[in-house]
């Protein structure tokens, strides 16, 4: 450290000048050679370092691009990052409104290494935290805020202005796999990102869905990751695997679920029925129906429906569209509509039920039946069955809820034929339901019951009771007297009984003792009598002679 | 051997910086020789060797590095999901926006103003020695003393960042690191200190009369 220049140089001092000649002389020694120019290495190195730093930072800065979004929700200048596969490739440096104030322009400074992202077919979207199906995604953004996701383009034409996507793209470019289309009537708890399972293993995800307003149907797109698309065959069945499938049957209670995630968040599962040995892998974008559960998905296909009309002369309360059409316990169809009709001749309101019967559900029986009518078709089969006595009947499916179903059964009765309506539906003859037969009988009973003159009976009963109560009232003073008498008598009786017990029942009572003595006396008497009779038997003469004097004992 | 100064007429003497002995200055015509203190052996010089060259070199190097020190990030903070780089001016700006004006002022003075002032002052001192030797000698001497005193305080930022980098180490959650700017900034501060040290204030007073005020 330099010493502070606190004064002018020493030669200026007069005191030193005075002692001029007395001063000692310095030694003269050889100096080491110093290269003067060496010191200039310092700024040279500094320049080199600074230049390299600046050049590096300049080269690290890649192109600056502009991305247009509908809203800059969550995007912050200087904070929001641009990431590709979770690697930061740039940063938002500015957010501005378009001149027309309709859209937002996000200015992004890309890193030099990400310069190749500024090409035509690169897409950008804003990633926000999503707690959705199949887990929580973008959890990092909860703390760091949203970031801009990127899907790298492959084009070679560079570009600096982009239009950002409002939704993340379904599938990233180059992600191996295939997309299939599912048609569903209900989305259930499915959402974008819901897992797709095959044998309870996740093999893909739902990547999007749209509500097709024209077809009134939902179109889901699922992405099956490679190499699993080969599992999707033309025979594959997809079903909504959300929730828990509880089945209670004769075999007990069985619970069928997919993974826990799908219980909570929903999912799609698919399977190929085992009979599909000749199944070929389905091409990409094949359309499959999405069934509600596994059972209906794996059930044999229903085929075309045969419409049937039935007219019931009874209340159909409990019969709803969708109720089963049941043939001897096998569900072969569904009720489509239930509507009132008016029969002008009879002045009645029969209920017209239109139902769909799926002949395919009969299985192998159907082909036998078709052979029976020489291949004239399902309608002919049905007509023949009706001719043989098949009738539709309403039956109670559930006693608690009163749900009805339509049973097709052979019911004895007059032969009738099934006519065919203009629209091709078969008019099925009906039989009154078991419950509806019961109803008139019950009504009759009720009528009879109502004929009983409950009023008169009641009146008579009341007068009788009134007179009875009067008689009791009159009777009462004497009755009270009599009661008092009875009470006294009872008291006396009790006293008597007590003395009786004292005198008789007690073992030490005199009666007892006397009786005992009398009995002993009686015993002795009887013994004496016996002795007498014995003696008389041996010595009857004693009656006349009297008893001889006793012989001396040693006489024998 | 006795010599007298051409301007003042006083004898030319040399003070030993080590032991304080004053000795008669000798005239060495031949290059490659030095004068040594007869008592302690310390090399005696009228001025520091190559003072101006060294000062100039350090000032230029500091000035050059001053650019990346301000342009590049000084501190790199990495939190769980955020990677932030802070430049000096950016940090001051943030402090100012947060309402910590006093803190912003302190950081500005310590990190921006003082190094700049030092570079400017040393440049001025070095330039005036050669080109305006008689101009305001007393003020220049005071300026030098000021530069020397203030010199160390610019290391404030460096200390802060180094302390943070050493203490904030929470693995993936948060960490603080030094940026390239900090290295440049440290180099600037160190180079200005070297420049101050290598500059010889005696150069200001070369050929000056004994009374500083009259110079």
Residue-level pLDDT, tens digit, chain A, 556 residues:
344 444 444 444 444 444 456 778 787 777 666 555 677 788 888 888 888 877 877 777 788 888 888 888 878 887 788 888 878 888 888 888 888 888 889 998 888 888 888 888 888 888 876 655 445 555 555 556 678 888 888 888 888 888 888 877 777 777 788 889 988 888 877 877 788 888 888 888 888 888 888 888 888 888 898 888 888 888 888 888 876 766 665 556 677 666 666 666 678 888 887 765 567 888 888 888 888 877 777 776 677 788 888 888 888 888 888 888 888 888 888 888 888 888 888 888 888 899 988 888 877 788 888 888 877 778 888 888 888 888 888 888 776 777 788 888 888 878 888 788 888 788 888 888 766 667 778 888 989 988 888 889 999 999 999 999 888 887 777 778 888 899 999 999 999 999 888 877 777 777 888 888 999 999 999 999 999 899 888 888 888 887 777 767 775 5
A314 and A348 in a common domain: yes
Domain endpoint, select from A267, A298, A329: A298
Instruction: Supply φ then ψ for residue A290, to 5 degrees.
Output: -105, 115
Question: Stretch B190-205: mean pLDDT, rounded?
Answer: 85
A412 and A317 in a common domain: yes
Is A315 contained in some domain? yes
Is A91 contained in some domain? yes
Flag whether residue A55 sits within 8 Å of chain B, measured between CB atoms.
no
Closest chain B residue by Cα to residue A40: B57
Whole-complex ipTM: 0.70
CA of A330: how far to CAs of A252, A273, A312, A358, A405, in Å?
Answer: 20, 21, 22, 11, 12
A284 and A191 in a common domain: yes
- Angstrom distance (rounded) from CA B175 to CA B166: 9
A40: which chain B residues are within 8 Å (Cβ-Cβ)?
53, 57
B82: which chain A residues are within 8 Å (Cβ-Cβ)?
79, 81, 143-144
Is A496 contained in some domain? no
Q: Are strands A252-257 and A306-312 parallel, antiparallel or unpaired?
A: unpaired
Q: Are strands A201-212 and A135-137 parallel, antiparallel or unpaired?
A: unpaired
Q: Are A78 and A92 in contact (CB under 8 A)?
A: yes
Q: Specify the pLDDT at position A6.
A: 44
The A residues from 122 to 181 touching B (CB cutoff 8 Å) are 140-141, 143-144
Order of all β-strands in the sheet with B83-86: B83-86, B75-79, B174-178
- Angstrom distance (rounded) from CA A290 to CA A219: 9
Q: Which residue has the tokens 């044998």?
A: A199
A204 and A228 in a common domain: yes
Q: Are A9 and B201 in contact (CB under 8 A)?
A: no
Give the number of domains in chain A: 4
Which residues span the domain enclosing A273?
177-298
The A residues from 18 to 37 touching B (CB cutoff 8 Å) are 20-21, 23-31, 33-34, 36
A419 and A360 in a common domain: yes
Is A221 contained in some domain? yes
Q: Specify the pLDDT at position A321.
A: 84
Sequence-distant (6+) residues with CB within 8 A of A409 are A327, A328, A390, A391, A393, A431
Q: What H or E segment, with its residue span, contains residue A531?
A: helix A510-538
Is A19 contained in some domain? no
- Angstrom distance (rounded) from CA A95 to CA A103: 11
Which two three-digit tokens encode residue A199?
A: 């044998």
- B28–A28 CB contact, under 8 Å: yes
| Helices vs strands, H then E, count in chain A | 11, 28
Flag whether residue A59 sits within 8 Å of chain B, measured between CB atoms.
no
- Nearest CA-CA partner of B78 in B213, B178, B182, B158: B178
Q: pTM of the full predicted structure?
A: 0.47
- A2–B200 CB contact, under 8 Å: yes
- Angstrom distance (rounded) from CA A147 to CA A164: 13
Question: How many Cα atoms occupy the beta-carbon half-sphere of B3 within 13 Å?
Answer: 14
pLDDT score of B210 more than 80: no
- B38–A26 CB contact, under 8 Å: yes
- Angstrom distance (rounded) from CA A334 to CA A378: 17
Q: What is the DSSP string of A273-331?
A: -TT-TT--BPPTT-EEEEESSHHHHHSPP--S-EEEEEEESS--TT--TT-EEEETTEE
**Which member of B23, B65, B187 has the closest CB to residue A23?**
B23
A181 and A75 in a common domain: no
A210 and A159 in a common domain: no
Domain endpoint, select from A443, A468, A485: A443
Map out the domains of chain B with their CATH numbers.
1-46 (no CATH), 51-203 (1.20.140)
- B2–A20 CB contact, under 8 Å: yes
Is A418 contained in some domain? yes
Which two three-digit tokens encode residue B87?
A: 């430049």
A311 and A433 in a common domain: yes
- B23–A26 CB contact, under 8 Å: yes
**Which member of B38, B148, B184 has the closest CB to residue A2?**
B148
Q: Specify the pLDDT at position A13.
A: 42
Mutation target vs A (from B4, B21, B34; most A CBs, 10 A cutoff): B34
Is A551 contained in some domain? no
pLDDT score of B201 more than 70: yes
Q: What H or E segment, with its residue span, contains residue A440?
A: helix A434-451
A417 and A315 in a common domain: yes
Mutation target vs B (from A3, A5, A80; most B CBs, 10 A cutoff): A5
A427 and A315 in a common domain: yes
Q: What is the CA radius of gyration of chain A?
A: 58
Q: What is the DSSP string of chain B?
A: ---B-TTT-PBPEEE-TTT--EEEPPP--STTEEEE-TTT-PEE-SS-TTHHHHHHHHHHHHHHHHHHHHHS-SEEEEESS-EEEE-HHHHHHHHHHHT-HHHHHHHHIIIIIHHHHHHHHHHHHHHHHHH-TTS-HHHHHHHHHHHHHHGGGGGHHHHHHHHHHHH-B-TTSEEEEE-HHHHHHHHHHHHHHHHHHH--GGGTTTT--S-GGG-
Q: Specify the pLDDT at position A14.
A: 44
- Angstrom distance (rounded) from CA A443 to CA A451: 12
Helical H runs in A61-161? 140-144
Is A7 contained in some domain? no
**Is residue A88 exposed (0-12), middle (13-18) or buried (19+ Cβ within 10 Å)?**
middle
Sequence-distant (6+) residues with CB within 8 A of A548 are A542
Q: What H or E segment, with its residue span, contains residue A132?
A: strand A130-132
A515 and A433 in a common domain: no
Q: Specify the pLDDT at position A131.
A: 57
Q: What is the pLDDT of residues B14-37, one digit of tens each?
A: 888 888 888 887 776 666 778 888
Q: CA of B106, closest CA in chain A: separation in Å?
A: 25
Domain endpoint, select from A443, A459, A474: A443
A354 and A407 in a common domain: yes
């Amino acid at each position: 450290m330099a010493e502070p220049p606190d004064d002018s140089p020493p030669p200026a001092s007069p005191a030193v000048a005075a002692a001029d000649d007395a001063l000692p002389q310095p030694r003269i020694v050889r100096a080491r050679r110093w290269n003067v120019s060496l010191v200039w290495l310092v700024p040279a190195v500094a320049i080199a370092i600074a230049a390299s730093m600046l050049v590096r930072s300049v080269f690290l800065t890649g192109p600056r691009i502009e991305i247009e979004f509908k809203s800059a929700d969550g995007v912050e200048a200087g904070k929001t990052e641009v990431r590709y596969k979770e690697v930061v490739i740039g940063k938002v440096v500015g957010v501005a409104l378009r001149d027309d104030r309709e859209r937002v322009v996000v200015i992004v400074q890309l890193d030099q290494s990400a310069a190749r992202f500024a090409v035509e077919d690169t897409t950008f979207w804003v990633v926000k935290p999503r707690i959705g199906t199949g887990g929580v995604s973008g959890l990092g953004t909860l703390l760091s805020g949203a970031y801009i996701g990127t899907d790298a383009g492959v084009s070679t034409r560079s570009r600096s202005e982009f239009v950002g996507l409002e939704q993340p793209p379904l599938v990233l470019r180059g992600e191996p796999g295939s997309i299939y289309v599912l048609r569903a009537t209900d989305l259930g708890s499915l959402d974008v990102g819901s897992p797709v399972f095959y044998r309870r293993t996740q093999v893909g995800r739902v990547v999007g869905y749209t509500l097709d307003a024209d077809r009134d149907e939902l179109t889901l797109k699922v992405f099956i990751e490679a190499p699993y698309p080969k599992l999707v065959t033309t025979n594959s069945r997809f079903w909504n695997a959300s929730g828990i499938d509880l089945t209670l049957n004769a075999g007990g209670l069985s619970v069928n679920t997919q993974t826990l995630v799908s219980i909570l968040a929903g999912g799609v599962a698919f399977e190929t029925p085992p009979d599909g040995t000749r199944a070929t892998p389905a091409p990409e974008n094949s359309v499959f129906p999405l069934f509600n559960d596994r059972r209906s998905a794996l059930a044999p296909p229903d085929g075309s429906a045969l419409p049937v009309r039935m007219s019931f002369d009874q209340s159909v309360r409990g019969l709803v569209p969708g109720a089963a059409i049941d043939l001897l316990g096998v569900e072969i169809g569904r009720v489509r509509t239930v509507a009132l009709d008016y029969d002008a001749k009879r002045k009645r309101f029969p209920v017209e039920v239109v139902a769909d019967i799926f002949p395919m559900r009969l299985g192998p029986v159907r082909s036998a039946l078709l052979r029976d009518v020489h291949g004239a078709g399902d309608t002919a089969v049905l007509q023949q069955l009706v001719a043989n006595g098949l009738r539709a009947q309403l039956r109670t499916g559930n006693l608690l809820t009163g749900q009805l179903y339509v049973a097709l059964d052979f019911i004895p009765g007059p032969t009738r034929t099934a006519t065919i309506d203009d629209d091709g539906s078969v008019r099925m003859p009906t039989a009154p339901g078991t419950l509806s037969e019961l109803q008139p009988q019950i009504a009759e009973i009720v009528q009879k019951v109502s004929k009983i003159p409950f009023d008169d009976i009641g009146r008579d009963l009341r007068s009788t009771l009134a007179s009875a109560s009067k008689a009791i009232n009159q009777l009462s003073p004497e009755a009270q007297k009599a009661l008092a008498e009875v009470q006294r008598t009872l008291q006396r009786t009790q006293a008597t009984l007590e003395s009786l017990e004292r005198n008789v029942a007690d073992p030490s009572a005199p009666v007892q003792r006397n009786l005992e003595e009398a009995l002993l006396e009686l015993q002795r008497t009887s013994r004496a009598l016996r002795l007498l009779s014995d003696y008389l038997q041996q010595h009857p003469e004693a009656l006349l002679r009297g008893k001889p004097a006793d012989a001396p004992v040693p006489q024998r | 051997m006795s010599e007298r100064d051409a301007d003042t007429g006083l004898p030319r003497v040399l003070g030993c910086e080590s032991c304080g002995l004053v000795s008669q200055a000798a005239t060495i015509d031949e290059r490659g020789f030095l004068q040594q203190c007869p008592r302690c052996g310390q090399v005696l010089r009228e001025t520091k060797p190559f003072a101006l060259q060294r000062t100039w070199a350090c000032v230029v190097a500091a000035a050059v590095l001053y650019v990346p020190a301000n342009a590049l990030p000084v501190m790199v903070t990495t939190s769980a999901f955020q990677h932030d780089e802070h430049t000096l001016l950016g940090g001051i700006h943030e402090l100012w926006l947060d309402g910590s004006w006093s803190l912003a002022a302190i950081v500005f003075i310590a990190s921006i103003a003082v190094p700049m002032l030092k570079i400017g002052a040393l440049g001025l001192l070095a330039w005036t020695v050669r080109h305006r030797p008689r101009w305001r000698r007393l003020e220049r001497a005071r300026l030098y003393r000021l530069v020397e005193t203030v010199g160390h305080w610019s290391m404030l930022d460096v200390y802060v960042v180094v302390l943070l980098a050493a203490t904030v180490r929470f693995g993936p959650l948060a960490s603080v690191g030094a940026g390239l700017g900090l290295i440049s900034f440290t180099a600037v501060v160190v180079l200005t200190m070297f420049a101050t040290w290598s500059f010889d204030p005696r150069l200001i007073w070369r050929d000056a009369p004994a009374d500083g005020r009259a110079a």
